[in-house]
Amino acid sequence: MSARPQTITQSENDWSTVRIAATPDQTWAVDADYLHGRLDVLRKLGAHYANRIWLLDLVSDIMLVAGVVSAFFVAWWSCIPIIGLACLQRISNRRMAGELAGKAAQESTDAFLYLYNSGVLWLEQPTNPTSDRRPRFPLR
């Protein structure tokens, strides 16, 4: 029985994964969806990171309520673009949570180890062929 490395395919979880290119031979990935759901993990990297995401989520929630209210008081169709913008803002907030964690991991070894040990950060398959000329065994 041979061991196979477990990797996440590109199409499976691409929109909620932020990739960090450390060297040409390796790429690290951060699970942005998990970080957005658990702001306490992001708060240990820096309170301002979690506060920024929380404030932008609050703005997104206010936009959602404003979209519903505008359907009653302005026009029935006015809720469509406002709710669409609120959903785009929420998706952007998830992505930003991953990017902030990736930035913190690149700047601090403690943050990198904390994210790696918590399972939010993992090593993906190399994006480029390896730079050394030694023969490698193919992964099957």
Q: Where are the domains of the chain?
A: 23-124
Q: In what order do the strands lie in the sheet with 17-23?
A: 17-23, 26-31, 121-124
Which pair of structure tokens corresponds to residue 53? 């995401």
Assess whether pLDDT exceeds 70 at residue 127: no
| Residues with Cβ within 8 Å of residue 122, at least 6 apart in sequence | 28, 29, 116
- Residue 136's pLDDT is 58
- Give the span between the Cα atoms of 137 and 140, in whole angstroms: 9
Hey, what amino acid is at 76? W
pLDDT tens for each residue of 12-47: 557 678 888 777 777 888 999 999 999 999 999 989
| Residues with Cβ within 8 Å of residue 99, at least 6 apart in sequence | 18, 32
